[in-house]
Amino acid sequence: MVVVIVEYRIDRRSGVPAFQQIVQQTKQALRLGVLVPGDRLPTAKEVAETTAVNPNTTLKAYRELEREGLVEPRPGQGTFVRRTLGRPETGTDSPLYAELAAWMSKAAGAGLEQEDVAALVASAMEKQYAAGTTAATGSTTTRSTGE
Amino acid sequence: MSDGMYAGKPALEAYGLGMRYRRGWALRDCSFRLPAGRICGLVGPNGAGKTTLLNIAAHVLEPTNGSISLFGEAPGSAESGRRTAFLAQEKPLFRRFTVAETLRLGRELNPGWDQRAAEDIIRAGNVPFEAKISTLSGGQRTRVAIALAFGKRPELLLLDEPMSDLDPVVRHEIMGILLAEAAEHGTTVLMSTHVLAELENVCDYLVVVSGGGVRLAGDVDELMSVHTMVTGVREGDGLPVALGHHTLVESRISGRQFTALIRPEGPVTGPWETDTPNMEELLLAYLRSPDAPPLVTPTAQVHGQGQAFGIGTVAA
Amino acid sequence: MSTFTSASNPAGTTTGTPTDGKNGTMNATTTEATRRPHLSGMTWLVWRQHRAGFWSILAAAALSVAWMVYQRGQLTDFLTGHGYPAKNLDEVGSAFQQYVDAFSFVALGLGVIPILLGVFLGAPLLAGDLENGTAKLVAAQSMSRTRWLATKLALAGLVVVVSTGVLSAVFGWWWNPVKSEVTVMDWMSSQAFNNTGPVPVALTLLSVFGGVAIGVVLRRTLMAMVVTFGFTVALQVVWSYSIESLGNAVTVTTNKGVMGENGSPSLPRGAYEIDYSFVTGSGDLVGFGTCSGSQTDAARQVCLDKADVVGYAVEYLPMSQMHGMQWFGASILFAVTAGVVAFLFFWGRKRLV
């Protein structure tokens, strides 16, 4: 039996708590279609073995994902994906992507550097999704609350 | 394992532990509690008493005063001896034994021996079973020692500087094995180190000893959440007066700016930037400031402990 | 982030079906178990740790036994050829000397066994583990350190008792045909007394366990070996001075004067003379040198008469006491050894890591 599972990559220098990195990377995998409903997430043991992250951290991340309704624990089997975050609009063949690509080439034509573009996108994003998640860039000011 | 994790039965409790050597006190009035199922970092500068504490727990040393209990039993009792495994700093092994013979040692001397778990750890490092211990590298020897400790199927694993002589790759891998085994069997781990970077993402519990006493003990998330890192423009020669009613752990002034680690006693309001410290910042602050009031969170307090500090209360 | 299948996951393979390596070790263990006497638990560990030393001792003992059996054959052949015991060995001459030398040579070797085993078996037995930390390794397992100590002492003691016991028995058996010949070996000499009966066992056991105790206290192998060497040599010296006092000395007196040829007392064969003196008419003993300053025999006789010397008084140990003296001495040594063992258990309860 070949089970496709994801491997988390924990960046210890990013300042983002490990459990949030796991949440973000799982969501990213859901968005990209790497994980689809019915897939089993790696067990805390498997994550610990490959990334040397405390199993409690992984479990905490999974509880967070469970709270958001993305995964569900099945006793004795593991944690399974319930629904995907992937939408037609997020694919690279969507009209929104084409519009963004066109805007990017316009920005490049206007002589903007990569950093300028990133700053513009970030500030526009902040304006639009003011109370938004920390998914894209992460945040160092997040307070971990303990359970 | 998630259920056992926060159930909070103690794996280890130290009551007023003191240890005096000829040169002076290595450990003094040391009290804390480690709930079962936690992976706990035992942190402190060299000579802070970490090894002494672990040796008392492993029944290698007898404390001068106080006591320690493992699952409610004294160290050295048959029960606690069976449920506890200890990996000493020098990782002693019989040099003339082969790897297979070393595992047989574990099998012969431990009733609950798990040969397969031990062999898996050896095999994952491609260490030949017929090789003599004396021919192995430091990392391979550590792996064998860890296999011996894990094969015992302990409920409490005491590790004294387990990674000290390993290269980063092996260090990461051994830590992975350690955490995976702990995840699978709900093992409680008490691991000493003075390398703070080793602890981030690994430990969910912390005991900081310095100058022979406990400076900080408790759940990592809890410890982080009761501290705040404040950065702002300094007032005069020191900290802003408005910060005065919070418990100060450490403050530093550089140019016009001050940075302070505080335990807020209420809302922190002012023209300052506040941030949750990361584990390294928290540990460094406590290790650098021996006069900062110690903090032992409720889950880490033992019953009848003299110096109990609740979260957020002003400590003497 | 990357994806992979469990087939390429190292964790997946190790937790899967057992690999060849595992089968290999299991087979090796089972064949080893059937080939050798089955040791288990602590006994296996202690035997495995010290097997080189234990086997060396047993092999050396076996070689010595073979040599002594051969020598005894040579000796009895010679004695039969000579017609002994019908014909005594007084006029046998130099032809017999090689058989006497064989005894001295072997006795010398056997005599240093307590020192050798004390230094090379006793001293490092626990000092080695305390020095390089393996005591901690053993203490970290599920068995008590008292059990470890008991097994170490029991196995080392067994090897000592078996090897020295067999050597002692065979040496005694070799000596037996010429036991009463003082010219071969005086029974009170250390060559004979210390190498037969229970004495070599008791001396070696005390030397070895004394070495163990020294090692446990000093916790350094080399230092323990040096100190144990001193201890075992001192033990030999003290022992050789105490042998005489183990027996009940017998005194014979004569009353036929001390000047004549036939005045000397007749002692049993093999008697060991402790003290030779003169006895007076009132039964008092006076020194053997009394009147030795006299110039002539006549003057000496006058002097002796004046001192009322009527004969000799000789204090001696008969050879019949040898067995009793050996057991008496050995039981003192065994008692001291028991004290050392008691100390080891008392000390080891807290300090054996």
Q: pLDDT tens, B258-304?
A: 888 999 888 887 788 888 888 888 898 888 888 888 899 888 888 65
Q: How far is the C-alpha of B301 from the C-alpha of B311, rounded, in Å?
A: 11
- Rounded to 5 degrees, what are φ and ψ at C279? -120, 140
With a CB cutoff of 8 Å and minimum separation 6, the contacts of B62 are B56, C350
The answer to whether residue A36 neighbours chain C at the CB level (below 8 Å) is no
Which chain C residues have a beta carbon less than 8 Å from that of A49? Answer: 11
Least CB-CB distance to A15: which of B6, B176, B278?
B278
- Domain positions in chain B: 2-217, 222-294
Partner chains of B (3+ C-beta pairs under 8 Å): A, C
Tokens (6 digits) for C20 = 């060849």
Query: Which residues in C lie closer than 8 A to residue A34 (C-beta atoms)?
Result: 1, 3
Residue C12 Cα, gap to closest chain A Cα (Å): 9
Which of A52, A140, A145 comes nearest B179 by C-beta?
A52
Q: Smallest CA–CA separation between A50 and chain C, in Å?
A: 8
Mean pLDDT of C253-261: 78
Residues 6 or more apart from C203 whose CB is under 8 A from it? C114, C194, C235, C236, C239, C333
- Which residue, A53, A68, A40, is CA-closest to A8? A53
Q: What is the pLDDT of residue B276?
A: 84
How much is the pLDDT for B116?
92
Residues of B with Cβ-Cβ distance to A59 under 8 angstroms: 1-2, 5
Question: What is the mean pLDDT of the segment spanning C259-287?
Answer: 82
- Give me the helix-helix angle, B99-109 and B138-151, nearest 10°: 20
C-alpha distance from B96 to closest chain C C-alpha (Å): 8
**Min distance B65 CA to chain C CA atoms (Å):** 15
Q: Does A50 touch chain C (CB under 8 A)?
A: yes
Q: Which residue of B has its CA nearest to C24?
A: B129
Which chain B residue has its CA at the smallest distance from C353's CA? B60
CA neighbor of B285 nearest in space, from B236, B228, B203, B202 = B228
Q: Which A residues 30-69 touch B at CB under 8 Å?
A: 43-46, 48-57, 59
Q: Looking at the predicted structure, is the pLDDT value of residue C149 above 80? A: yes
Give A50's contacts in chain B (Cβ within 8 Å).
Answer: 176
- What pLDDT is stored for residue C12 in this prediction? 38
* CA dihedral angle for residue C210, residue C215, residue C217, residue C219, rounded to 10 degrees: 180
Note the pLDDT of residue C348.
Answer: 86
Q: Which residues of B touch C23 (CB under 8 A)?
A: none
Q: What percent of chain C shows pLDDT beyond 90?
A: 54
What is each CA distance from B172 to A49, B145, C58, in whole angstroms? Answer: 9, 16, 48
The chains found to touch C (3+ Cβ pairs under 8 angstroms) are: A, B
pLDDT of residue C234: 97
pLDDT of residue B170: 81
Interface test with A, best of B175, B179, B199 (most A CBs within 10 A): B179
Distance from the Cα of C142 to chain A's closest Cα (Å) equals 27
A143/B5 CB distance under 8 A? no
Task: Out of A30-44, A126-140, C218-232, C302-316, give the one with best mean pLDDT.
Answer: C218-232
Domain ranges of chain C: 51-247+326-351, 250-320
One digit per residue, pLDDT tens: chain B, 316 residues? 333 344 468 899 999 999 988 888 888 889 999 999 999 999 988 878 899 999 999 888 889 999 999 998 888 888 888 899 999 988 999 999 999 999 999 999 999 899 998 998 899 889 999 999 999 988 889 889 989 998 999 999 999 988 887 788 888 888 888 888 888 888 999 999 877 877 888 899 999 998 778 989 999 888 988 999 888 887 776 677 777 788 888 888 888 888 889 998 888 877 888 888 888 888 988 888 888 888 998 888 886 544 333 333 333 3
Rounded to the nearest 10°, the torsion over CA C249, C255, C257, C262 is -80
Determine whether the interchain pair A8/C1 forms a contact, defined as Cβ–Cβ distance below 8 Å. yes
Which of B221, B229, B274 is most worth mutating to test chain A (most A CB atoms within 10 A of its CB)?
B221
Does pLDDT of A3 surpass 70? no
Listing DSSP states for C31-48 in one string gives HHHHHS----HHHHHHHH
Which chain A residue is nearest to residue C5, measuring alpha carbons?
A4
Instruction: Please provide the average confidence, as pLDDT, over all residues in chain C.
Output: 86
| Closest alpha carbon to B15 in B287, B218, B308 | B308
Distance of alpha carbon B64 from alpha carbon C172, whole angstroms: 55
C119 neighbors C210 (Cβ within 8 angstroms)? no
Of residues C95 and B153, the one with the higher pLDDT is B153
Q: Are strands B188-193 and B205-210 parallel, antiparallel or unpaired?
A: unpaired
Q: Which of B86, B116, B120 sits opposite C140 (nearest CB)?
A: B86
Interchain proximity A29–C1, CB inside 8 Å:
yes
Q: Is A46 on the interface with C (CB under 8 A)?
A: yes
What pLDDT, on the 0 to 100 scale, is given for residue B313?
36
Position B212 scores a pLDDT of 79
B281/A contact by beta carbon, under 8 A? no
Mutate which: A8, A49, A58, vs B, most B CBs within 10 A: A49
Is the peptide bond preceding residue C85 cis, with omega within 30 degrees of 0?
yes
**Do the Cβ atoms of C11 and A46 come within 8 Å?**
yes
Q: Which of C24, C137, C144 sits opposite B93 (nearest CB)?
A: C137
Q: Which residues of chain A are within 8 Å of residue C5 when distances are taken between CB atoms?
A: 2-4
Work out the angle between the directed axes of helices B115-124 and B138-151 (0-180°, nearest 10).
160
Say what percent of chain A tops pLDDT 90: 20
Question: What does the domain layout of chain A look like in residue ranges?
Answer: 18-81, 88-128
- Could you tell me if C139 lies within 8 Å of chain B, comparing CB atoms? yes
Cβ <8 Å between C45 and B109: yes
C17 lies within 8 A of chain A by CB: no
Question: Do A92 and A51 form a contact (C-beta atoms < 8 A)?
Answer: no
Q: Quick one: pLDDT at residue B122?
A: 92
Strand ranges across the sheet with B24-35: B24-35, B10-21, B65-70
Most confident of A57-61, B311-315, C250-254, C326-330: C326-330
Which residue's entry shows tokens 């479990």?
A59
- Least CB–CB distance from B101: residue in C48, C141, C350: C48
CATH tag for A18-81 (out of 3.40.50.720, 1.10.10.10, 3.60.15.10, 3.40.50.2020): 1.10.10.10
Give residue C17's pLDDT: 40
DSSP H/E element including C97: helix C97-111
Partners of residue B139 on adjacent β-strands: none
Does domain B2-217 correspond to CATH entry 1.10.238.10?
A: no
d(CA B118, CA B112): 12
Which residues from chain C sit within 8 angstroms of residue A81, using beta carbons?
none
Token couple for C240: 């050789």
pLDDT of residue C196: 95
| C85 CB within 8 Å of a chain B CB | no
All residues at 6 or more sequence positions from B208 whose CB lies less than 8 Å from its CB, including other chains: B43, B44, B214, B215, B216, B217, B283, B286, B287
Residue B290 Cα distances to B119, B209, B224, C235, angstroms: 44, 10, 19, 57
pLDDT value at C231 more than 90: yes
